[in-house]
């Protein structure tokens, strides 16, 4: 499943769905003069945000990619409400992670440490505030670190959620493990194998169950988490993994797939827990990706299928926000970066507020004049 280099949303990225098209020539990437470090938009909730990193090891299973590792190592980044407004802002990623991600994505318009200079909003290692808060697990697209979902994570934390972003080792261009060791993308050597996507989401589901075990019983701040209010969201293969995790682990009470082709098989009896599909126009009913059509019929509980006009595959990530710093021009007729981030934050938070906080959210039930780009499918997409 070697990914096609896409200029969707202007950012050269590796899409997470299977693609057999050849990699375009380097000259196909629209370039510009880098603008300097990117700054993530400020969170919209009332709480300051703290963040910390955990390195966890599952000794009960070998790593599915690294045949020399008899345990599974994961990096988990946590974002959460804090009472601390001042302090050192957390790094977006390390210079080495930035270098490997840019090289892997064939981005050479800016210095390789560019992404490490991105300005975030969360205070590094700040003490958490609150208790029994809902937990949201985040999973990124294939080849991407979970840091590419930082804008969404910071916003959710500011709204009163604990957010656990999982870096699935050896599935991205660079994951920093304990002791500063770098895990590169071994899975990239197998992504054209039959059944790759199905196997990958099953492995991520196992990662999620292990992380939930550790966060709710073994983490020093486990009292921060309400074990009865857990959801998962992901972009691309991370969204597909949200569905896989829900099928495997009943603790995940609600799920969100942001523009991800699905691979997990839902039992014939259906999946009755709340689920949200939100994606780009390729995911209209009967469109290029038909996996949502298949799974929609098996979602037997509360469900919504939203399509965002003007969105591209990376519109649900930080990708568009980083274009200027990377010296890449946005594609024509795509959502502006700040608008894409606003819409993603708004609808993800609305879904979570409804199903983890029991708060009424009218924008999930009817068209919103403030968000005309978002259409509800199947009906508003011209399908019955």
d(CA 254, CA 371): 23
What is the pLDDT, as a whole number, of residue 29? 58
List the Cα angle 190/193/199 in 5-degree steps: 80
Q: Based on C-alpha coordinates, what's the Rg of the chain?
A: 19
The model's pLDDT over 15-57, given as tens digits with 9 standing for 90+, comes to 333 332 233 333 345 677 888 899 999 999 999 999 999 999 9
For 5-34+46-381, CATH gives 3.40.50.1820
Running along the chain, 384 residues long, what does each successive block of 10 average in pLDDT? Answer: 35 36 40 90 98 97 96 98 96 98 94 98 96 97 98 98 98 97 96 92 98 94 96 98 98 98 94 97 89 95 96 97 94 92 98 98 94 89 52
What is the pLDDT, as a whole number, of residue 31? 75
> Omega before 339 cis (within 30°)?
no
What is the pLDDT, as a whole number, of residue 232? 98
What is the pLDDT, as a whole number, of residue 289? 87
What is the pLDDT, as a whole number, of residue 301? 97
d(CA 361, CA 357): 11
pTM of the model: 0.92
What is the pLDDT, as a whole number, of residue 32? 78
- Find the DSSP H helices in the chain: 95-104, 150-158, 196-213, 237-248, 291-296, 323-326, 337-357
Strand-pair partners of 168? 74
DSSP per-residue letters across 231-276? EEEEETHHHHHHHHHHHH-TT--EEEEES----SPPPTT-B-S-EE
What is the pLDDT, as a whole number, of residue 318? 98
d(CA 242, CA 271): 12
Sorted by where each begins, the domain ranges of the chain are: 5-34+46-381
The model's pLDDT over 317-375, given as tens digits with 9 standing for 90+, comes to 999 999 999 999 888 889 999 999 999 999 999 999 999 999 999 999 999 999 999 99
d(CA 47, CA 215): 21
């Amino acid at each position: 499943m070697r990914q096609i280099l896409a200029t969707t949303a202007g950012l050269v990225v590796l899409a997470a769905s299977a693609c057999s098209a050849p990699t375009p020539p380097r000259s196909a990437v629209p370039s510009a003069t880098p603008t300097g470090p990117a700054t993530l938009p400020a969170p919209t909730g009332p709480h300051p945000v703290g963040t910390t990193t955990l390195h966890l090891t599952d000794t009960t299973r070998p790593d599915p990619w690294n045949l020399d590792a008899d345990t599974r190592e994961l990096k988990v980044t946590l974002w959460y409400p804090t009472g601390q407004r001042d302090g050192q802002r957390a790094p977006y990623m390390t210079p080495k992670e930035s270098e490997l991600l840019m090289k892997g994505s064939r981005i050479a318009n800016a210095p390789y440490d560019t992404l490490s200079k991105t300005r975030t909003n969360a205070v590094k290692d700040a003490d958490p505030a609150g208790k029994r808060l809902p937990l949201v697990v985040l999973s990124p697209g294939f080849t991407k670190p979970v840091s590419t979902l930082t804008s969404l994570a910071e916003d959710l934390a500011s709204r009163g959620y604990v957010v656990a972003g999982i870096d699935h080792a050896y599935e991205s261009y660079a994951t920093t493990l304990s002791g500063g060791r770098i895990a590169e993308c071994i899975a990239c050597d197998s992504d054209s194998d039959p059944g790759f996507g199905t196997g990958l989401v099953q492995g991520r589901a196992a990662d999620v169950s292990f992380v939930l075990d550790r966060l709710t019983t073994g983490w020093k701040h486990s009292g921060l988490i309400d074990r009865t209010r857990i959801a998962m969201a992901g972009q691309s293969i991370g969204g597909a993994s949200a569905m896989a995790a829900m099928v495997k682990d009943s603790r995940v009470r609600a799920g969100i797939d942001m523009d991800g082709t699905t691979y997990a098989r839902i039992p014939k009896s259906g999946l009755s827990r709340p689920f949200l599909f939100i994606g780009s126009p390729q995911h209209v009913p009967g469109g290029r990706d038909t996996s949502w059509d298949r799974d929609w019929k098996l979602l037997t509980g509360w469900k919504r299928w939203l399509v965002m006009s003007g969105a591209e595959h990376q519109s649900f990530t930080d990708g568009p926000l980083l274009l200027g710093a990377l010296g890449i021009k946005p594609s024509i007729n795509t959502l502006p970066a700040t608008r894409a981030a606003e819409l993603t934050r708004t609808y993800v938070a609305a879904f979570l507020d409804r199903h983890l906080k029991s708060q009424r959210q009218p924008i999930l039930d009817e068209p919103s004049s403030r968000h005309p780009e978002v259409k509800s499918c199947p009906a508003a997409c011209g399908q019955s």
